[in-house]
Every structure is written in structure tokens, then in C-alpha cells.
Amino acid sequence: MKLMFAALLGSLTLAVLPMAASAQDGPTMKRIAETKTFTIGHRDASVPLSYIGPDGKAQGYSIDICLKIAEAAKEELKLDKMEVKFVPLTPQTRIPLLTAGTVDIICESSTHTIGRSRQIAFLSTTFLTGSKLLVRKDSGIKSLDDMNGKALVAALGTTNEKAAQVEIDRKGIKLKGGEIIKVKDHSQAMLNLDQGRADAYVSDDVVLFGLASAAKNPAEWEVVGPYFSYDPYGMMIARNNDDFRLVGDATIARLVSSGEMQKIYDKWFMPGPTNINYPMSDRLKTNMGLVALPE
């Protein structure tokens, strides 16, 4: 049954299902009411979705959405005052801290997958991206098909690495060294690229645009290729948590309906504090229409 639920969730990815799932109130709302604190888990460098700004505070597109969810939770619980706390997370600490209840919600840039849904739950999709390649403009690489004999780098364990491997196997592309170079994080991937160890870095295109805009010489770099993976991002909460999920999904729906979501998007992406200049894609616009459930 769990398996079926996860499979359904993953295949639909839309917000239709969660609200209809059997009512099961979780520990999160109770904890927020008792402690009068709302704890947001965030990342340090997922620009511009969830990162630590120049002032040392967590900020970004995902954080802004979660602050709205915090307000809604406060209202729902009729609390006179509620503190919002921020906890920085790494990919290694996020699931243990979420399941242990140290954080109430994780607001970053995580792809909603079926496998991951076995451990935690995702709110409605609020961002869509997919895998592309970051290359030097003069490299002549236009897509994965041009990667024969070239070196490809990916961040370990990312959905992008997995998707690239599937494409490479399917198309019979022969990479230099026979396999993808795996690194720990974005900055090391960029270092590999910059030093000429690798010819292309595969990641979510929004991340690649961010990296290129932050490079020494942004004009040297280019994001290429058609999407070869589908990466819907969602906020993560503990499983079996329907009352909290309702607050989250309802907040997202209302933000879209009221037009506020577009404003938040423009604040971070058009052109955004890091000058990323990434207009809302047609796919994401369609997705927003789908998550904007009626009252």
C-alpha cells in the first residue's frame, strides 16, 4: 500500500492527491503549537532558492514560500506569537533531522522522487527544472550527443547523475575514462571544469545558470542541451502528516491564486539578487495552474 501511494504520488506529482489522502494528523502541528516555534531547514548555497545571504541569514525563493507557510500555520493554530527558527542542513543531515523533528520543514532545492517519498513527504511542486550541461562556449558541445571522448562531471548521488547515466547508456555514448567523474558539490564540479579535468558539468539548469553567473568570467560559459530529466522541486515534511501538509499545500495554492507567487518568483529570478535572469518556463506556469487548487 505504501508502495502504491508513493508510486501514485510520484507519477502525478500534482497537488491533487495529498489533500485527498486519508486524514492522519502528524506530530508537526502539535509541536509547533507546544513550542511556539516554526523551524525551517535550509541550505547554504542553493542559489537563489535556499542560501545564506551576505547578511548571514537564510534567504531565497523556497525560504520566502516557507515563511508564508509559517504565517499560515500560526494563524491555523491561533497562536498569539510564534518564533521562526532557521537550521542550516547538508544533504547528509537533512533526513535524520526532519524525521527526528529537529526541523519542521525543509526549504531548499530537492527533487521530488518516488524513492525519496518512501522516507519523507513533499508539498506541492513549486519549481521545475531538469538536467542540462554547463560547458565552455568554445568547446563545441551542444548536447550529450557531443560528449563522445569527452569528460563529464556530476555531483554524487544527484538525480542529474542518474539521468545522465541513463542517457549515456541508452545512446551508447563513450565518455572519456569510461564513466562520469563524481564530485562532492557544485563548487568542486566547477573547479574540475575550470581546470580542464572535465568538459561538461551536468546539473539542474537553474543551478548551472547560477554557477555561470557567479563565475570569474560569466561570458566564457554556456548552458546547453535539451532537458534530459524532469526535476520537480518541493518542500519536504515528515510523512503521515496530513494536517501540516494541508496548511502547506493550501498556502502554496493561495499564493498562486493571489498572484503573490509570481511576485516571489520575480524577486529571486528576474533578474534576482545574483543576476540569474531565468524567466518562468511554460512548464512551470502550467504546474502553477495545477497546484492552485480552488478554496
Partner 1 sequence: MGSYNWNWPILLKSPYFGWIVSGFEYTCLIAVLAWLIAFPLGSAIGIARSVDNRFARAVGTFYVDIFRNIPLLVQMFLWYFVVPELLPHDLGRWVKRDMPYPQLTTAIFCLGLYTASRVAEQVRSGLGAIGEGQRYAGMAMGLTGFQVYRYVLLPVAYRIIIPPLTSEFLGVFKNSSLALTIGVLELTSQARQIEEYTFASFEAFTVATVLYCAVTLLVILLMRVIEGRTRIPGTITVGG
115 contacts partner 1 (rule: CB under 8 A): yes
Among 116, 132, 186, 245, binds partner 1 (CB under 8 A): 116
For partner 1, what does the binding mask look like between residues 182 and 201, x meaning CB under 8 A?
A: xxx---x--x---xxx----
Question: Looking at 43-99, which runs of residues are DSSP E strands?
Answer: 45-46, 50-52, 58-59, 83-88
Q: If binding is defined by CB under 8 A, does position 45 make contact with partner 1?
A: no
Is 294 a residue that touches partner 1 (CB under 8 A)? no
Q: Is 112 in the site for partner 1 (CB under 8 A)?
A: no
Q: How far is the CB of 105 from partner 1 (least distance, A)?
A: 13
Q: Cα separation of 14 and 249, whole Å?
A: 11
Q: Contact with partner 1 (CB under 8 A): which of 11, 34, 45, 96?
A: 96
- Per the document, the length of the chain is 295
Q: How far apart are CA 189 and CA 202, in angstroms?
A: 9
Q: Which of 49, 72, 211, 238 binds partner 1 (CB under 8 A)?
A: 238
Among 36, 57, 118, 137, indicate the residue that binds partner 1 (CB under 8 A).
118
Told to check if 280 binds partner 1 by CB under 8 A, we report no
Contact status: 218 vs partner 1 (CB under 8 A): no
| Shorter beta-carbon distance to partner 1: residue 168 or 255 | 168
Say how many CA atoms lie within 13 Å of 24 toward its Cβ.
7
Stretch that binds partner 1, among 71-79, 222-230, 239-247, 262-270 (CB under 8 A): 239-247
Closest CA to 29 of 256, 274, 242: 242
Closest distance to partner 1 from the beta carbon of 226 (Å): 24
What dihedral angle (degrees, nearest 10) is formed by the CA atoms of 213, 215, 216, 218? Answer: -40
Provide the minimum distance between the beta carbon of 187 and partner 1 in the complex, in angstroms, as a whole number.
Answer: 11
Four-point Cα dihedral 100, 102, 105, 111, nearest 10: -60
Rg of the chain taking only CA atoms, in angstroms? 20
- Residue 278 near residue 130, CB atoms below 8 Å: no
Helix, strand and coil content of the chain, in percent to the nearest 5, comes to 45, 20, 40
List interacting residues with partner 1 (CB under 8 A). Answer: 2, 26-27, 91-92, 95-96, 99-101, 115-116, 118-120, 151, 156-158, 162, 176-177, 181-184, 188, 191, 195-197, 238-241
